[in-house]
Amino acid sequence: MEIEIATIGGYEEVGRQMTAVRAGDDVVIFDMGLNLSQVLIHDNVETERMHSLDLIDMGAIPDDRVMSDLEGDVQAIVPTHGHLDHIGAISKLAHRYDAPIVATPFTIELVKQQIESEQKFGVENDLIKMDPGETMSIGDSGKVDLEFVNVTHSIIDAINPVLHTPEGAVVYGLDKRMDHTPVLGDPIDMERFREIGREGEGVLCYIEDCTNAGRKGRTPSENVAREHLRDTLYSMEDYDGGIVATTFSSHIARVKSLVEFADDIGRQPVLLGRSMEKYSGTAERLDFVDFPTDLGMFGHRKSVDRTFKRIMNEGKENFLPVVTGHQGEPRAMLTRMARGETPYELDNGDKVVFSARVIPEPTNEGQRYQAEKLLGMQGARIYDDIHVSGHMNQEGHYQMLEALQPQNIIPAHQDLEHLAKYIDLAENQGYQLGRDLHATRNGNLIQLVE
Ligand SMILES: [Zn+2]
């Protein structure tokens, strides 16, 4: 059976991930992501109303025109998890393919919300939920199956999809951290990866996320970030002024830890900001997390301002607002608080906890610097980097290669600088660039079996 890989997006940048795998006559697409930084750099761009070709020209969504060179029928579109760089282009591209979108329940729900907010295209692809550990048949040959292997990442319900073909398995490895003690959900299923590496024809190809390939050692478990957060918030137990925390709103495990520790130190947690309400509300509705029944979540400007007024009236020392704005995004809640645009007044000595790392990208770095400066001018004390990455460091990559023993590797999810670090790592393990290690760019086809 012919096996061909189209590396469509995310091979020159972080963002707009998209890869297609053809097995005989059947094609499966993995991820359809958005490169948010290409959108945010323009003022007032509303992607909801924009046409796909304009977004492709901006570098915001994958240029999927290479798909016309792939001779087969798309049978499924499979986003691996709910981060925007993996699902953010579905509302702009999925309608061009007569295929269902297959994903885990939390991811499907986020895809559904995105399709509902789309204003340019009617996206009518079927949405199919599939849980980690489950398998479905692809196409009519009876020889190709899609399996979801449970992985751990900075968002719940993440999987690595595996396409089983007569020539071996194609494992799509974006994005994961090797977490054996996650705060929410099951540990990464390394046992299944080891089985896949040894059964049948083994692994024909491993497509891997290189984000942290330049970092030594092991990425710690989410439990480590949780304990760091516990230590930080418990140290503030006697403080009788304002404490504000921020983190990735899609990081439900982290939000859960913040909510618990706020309670522990005698403060009522409250989630504020549009995306805080969206992700935590969705996770709670789908029973992925148990929040206290009286946990307030407010997204709309008016209800947020009303909550801030209530906090100021009843005393800041009784509350712990968890807000958006960990990267200093100009329109996010924390930045508005820093500019004095909300009823919440910061006083000298008030604490601001960043349970996030600055995404190392000039726009983020500049905006975060500005937000911290503004907070500092109001007397706020900053606690930063209370975080662990959602991506594996070098030792995780070595363990995956050991488990899967892939015949071919395609590094992905980064620019050339980071791909090169993974290439070094893989060459240390006996792979050779141009032979079984394929460095590539957006828009290429790699034929593995002719
Ligand atoms: Zn991700």
Residues 301 and 412 in one domain: no
Cβ count near 135 (within 10 Å):
12
Res. 432 pLDDT band, cuts 50 70 90: very high
Do 360 and 437 sit in the same domain of this protein?
no
Distance CA 342, CA 346 (A): 10
Q: How far is Cα 179 from Cα 346, in angstroms, rounded to an integer? A: 37
pLDDT band at 362 (very low <50, low <70, confident <90, very high): confident
Give the residue from 406, 437, 398, 438 showing the smallest Cα distance to 196: 406
What secondary structure letter does DSSP report for 264? H
Q: How far is the CA of 363 from the centre of ligand 1 (A)?
A: 19
Same domain, 437 and 364: no
Q: Are residues 153 and 263 in the same domain?
A: no
| 155 CA to centre of own chain | 6
14 is in an annotated binding site: no
The pTM of the full predicted model, rounded to 2 decimals, is 0.96
Residue with tokens 């012919």: 2
List pLDDT tens digits, range 199-210: 999 999 999 999
Residue 43: predicted pLDDT: 62
Stretch 259-269: mean pLDDT, rounded? 97
Residue 85 annotated as part of some ligand binding site: yes
Specify whether 212 is located in the same domain as 75: yes
**Do 83 and 201 share a domain, yes or no?**
yes
Q: Is 389 annotated as a binding residue?
A: yes
Is residue 95 annotated as involved in ligand binding?
no
- Structural domain tally of the chain? 2
Q: How sure is the predictor about 44, in pLDDT bands with cuts at 50, 70 and 90? A: low
Sole residue written with tokens 């789908």 = 286
In this prediction, residue 271 carries a pLDDT of: 98
Ligand 1 midpoint to CA 279 (Å)? 14
Question: The tokens of 305 are what?
Answer: 């301002």
CATH number of the structural domain spanning residue 212: 3.60.15.10
The response to whether 390 counts as a known ligand-binding position is: yes
Separation of CA 154 and ligand 1 centre (Å): 7
At 90, the amino acid letter reads: I
- DSSP notation for 142-188: S--EEEEEE-B-SSSS-EEEEEEETTEEEEE--S-B--SS-SSSPPP
Domain check: are 91 and 22 in the same one? yes
pLDDT(68) > 80: yes
According to the annotation, is 326 in a ligand binding site? no
Count of Cβ atoms closer than 10 Å to residue 143 Cβ: 16
Residue 14 alpha carbon to ligand 1 centre in Å: 10
Does residue 350 have a known ligand-binding role? Answer: no
Q: Is 83 annotated as a binding residue?
A: yes
Q: What domain range includes position 174?
A: 3-218+391-449
Amino acid at 172: Y
Taking the centre of ligand 1 as the mean of its atom positions, its distance from the CA of residue 81, in whole angstroms, is 7
User: Which pLDDT does position 317 carry in this prediction?
Assistant: 97
Is residue 80 predicted with pLDDT exceeding 90? yes
pLDDT in tens, 168-199: 999 999 999 999 999 999 999 999 999 999 99
Residues 304 and 205 in one domain: no
226 and 260, same domain (yes or no): yes
pLDDT confidence band for 280 (50 / 70 / 90): very high
User: How close is the Cα of 80 to the center of ligand 1, in Å?
Assistant: 8
